[in-house]
Amino acid sequence: MEFNGINFDTYFKNYPDNNGFFGKYGGAYINDDLKKAMEEITEAYFTICKSAKFINELRRIRKDFQGRPTPISHLERLSESLGNVQLYVKREDLNHSGAHKLNHCMGEALLAKYMGKKKVIAETGAGQHGVALATAAAYFGLECDIYMGTVDIAKQAPNVARMKILGANVVEVKEGLQTLKEAVDAAFAAYARDYKDSIYCIGSVLGPHPFPMMVRDFQSVVGIEAREQFMDMTGELPDAVVACVGGGSNAMGIFSGFLNDPVDIYGVEPLGRGEKLGDHAASLKYGEEGIMHGFNSIMLKDENGEPAPVYSVASGLDYPSSGPEHAFLHDLGRVKYDVVSDDETIDAFFTLSRLEGIIPAIESSHAVAYGMKLAKEMGKGSILINLSGRGDKDMDYIIEKYGIR
C-alpha cells in the first residue's frame, strides 16, 4: 500500500535506514564510548537475531513462559452500550507479568545471553520496565542493575519489592530531582563504564539506534498475532486500531501489523489535567522537533529548550517525548495522534471493569477511553484496541484518589 509517497510493502526494510533514521527522526546522538557500545549491539542484533536458533528460542519462550499468543476478546457489552460499533481488545494484560513490556525485555535479555554478557542495566521511573527486565534477567540467570531515583523508590514501593524478590539490584540515584531523568543519566554512565560485560536495555521504542528498531521488532509479535486473530474471528480487518503512546512500544507493536492495510490507526497521548505545558504529556500533539536522551524526535520543551516537566495520571505515559518512528508516522499522517484527559481515562477504567470484567492499567485505559469516543463518532464498523497491561498495580491509587465510582 502506498501512503503519501511511502511504499508500505517495503516499509520495514527501509525504515529505519542504516544510521537509524526514520526520515529526519532517530539516529544516535551520544558520546564516542556509548557509540562504540551501540555499534556492537547493532552488529550483534543483525547477525544473532536473524539466526534460526535465536528466533526458535524466542518463539519457544513466548509460548511456554510468557503464555503467548495472548487472545483477542470481543467487548460485547461495552459495544452494545455505545451503539453499533464492535470493540475488541488485544489482551497484553494476560502476557506474563501483566503487560506488553516483557515482549521486548525477553528479546533484549536473550540477545544479552547470545552476546555473552553477564549483566543487564536499565533505568526505571514507575518501575514497570524494571520489573519486566528483572523477570527476564531471572529467567536467563543474568545480573540486573536497575537505576531508580530516590523519590521514585519511595513512590513505587510494590514494584521495588517485586524487583528485589526477582533478584535485581535496585541502585538508588540521589542526584538532582531524584526521578527518571537522573536515573537515565546514571544508568547510561554506568553502562559506558561497563559495556564489555553488560548490555543496556531500553524500555520503549526510544533512545539511540538500534533501540527504536529493536524494541519495535520484538513488540511486532503483538501486531502479527492480532492481525491473524482478528481475521480468524471476524473474517475481515478492523476499521480502526487504537493504542496508548508513552514512549510508544505497545503502540508500535500493534501498529506494525496494520501499517500496510487500509486501516485507520490512532495513537492516544495523555492530556492529563489540560493543555497547559506541565499539565499533560502529549508530546506529538503539542511538541516540536528536538534531541534528547540520544535521539531526534518530537518533544515538549521548556523555555530553555530542555525537556519540559510533564504530567499524566498514568506514570507509564509520563515522558516528554515519544519514539522517533512515531514522530515520522505523525508527520506522514499515516497514524493520527490524539489525546484523552485523566477524567475520561478514569471513566474508561471503571466502565471496562464493570461491563467486561477486565481491570485495565491506567495507561491502557487511555486507549479504551479513545476507542469508546471513536465508536460513537464512527457509528458502524469495528475497533481493535491494544490493552497494554492489567490494572492491579493501579487499584490502590485509583481508590484513594477517585473513590469507587
Residue 165, SS3? helix
Among 69, 247, 270, 320, binds ligand PLP (CB under 6 A): 247
Upstream peptide bond of 71 is cis (omega within 30 degrees of 0): no
CB of 246 to ligand PLP, least distance (A): 3
Verify cis geometry, omega within 30 degrees of 0, for the bond prior to 210.
yes
d(CA 123, CA 136): 15
* 364 interacts with ligand PLP by CB under 6 A: yes
Q: Is 117 a catalytic residue?
A: no
Instruction: Considering the candidates 90, 101, 113, 181, report the single residue annotated as catalytic.
Output: 101
d(CA 257, CA 89) in angstroms, rounded, equals 15
Cis peptide before 69 (omega within 30 of 0): yes
124/351 with CB nearer ligand PLP: 124
Q: Per the residue annotation, which of 92, 123, 225, 356 is the catalytic one? A: 123
Binding range to ligand PLP, per CB under 6 A, among 10-18, 170-178, 246-254, 344-352: 246-254
Is the CB of residue 152 less than 8 Å from the CB of residue 178? yes
Q: Contact between 212 and ligand PLP (CB under 6 A)?
A: no
With CB under 6 A as the rule, give the number of residues binding ligand PLP.
19
DSSP 301: B
User: Per rule CB under 6 A, is residue 107 in the interface with ligand PLP?
Assistant: no
Told to check if 248 binds ligand PLP by CB under 6 A, we report yes
User: Grid coordinates standing for 370?
Assistant: 479513545
**Residue 256 interacting with ligand PLP (CB under 6 A):** no
Question: Per-residue b/e over 375-401, b at no fewer than 16 CB within 10 Å?
Answer: beebeeebbbbbbbbbbebbeeebeee
How far is 15 from 212, CA to CA, in rounded Å? Answer: 11
Residues of this chain, 278-337, that bind ligand PLP according to CB under 6 A: 316-317
Catalytic residue among 113, 356, 388, 393: 388
Q: Is 81 annotated in the active site?
A: no
State yes or no: is 101 an active-site residue.
Answer: yes
> Does residue 363 belong to the site contacting ligand PLP (CB under 6 A)?
yes
124 makes contact with ligand PLP (CB under 6 A): no
Element (H, E) at 322: none
Q: Which is nearer to ligand PLP, 182 or 363 (CB)?
A: 363
So which residues are the catalytic ones? 101, 123, 388
Q: Which residues bind ligand PLP (CB under 6 A)?
A: 99, 101, 128, 204, 244-251, 316-317, 361, 363-364, 388-389
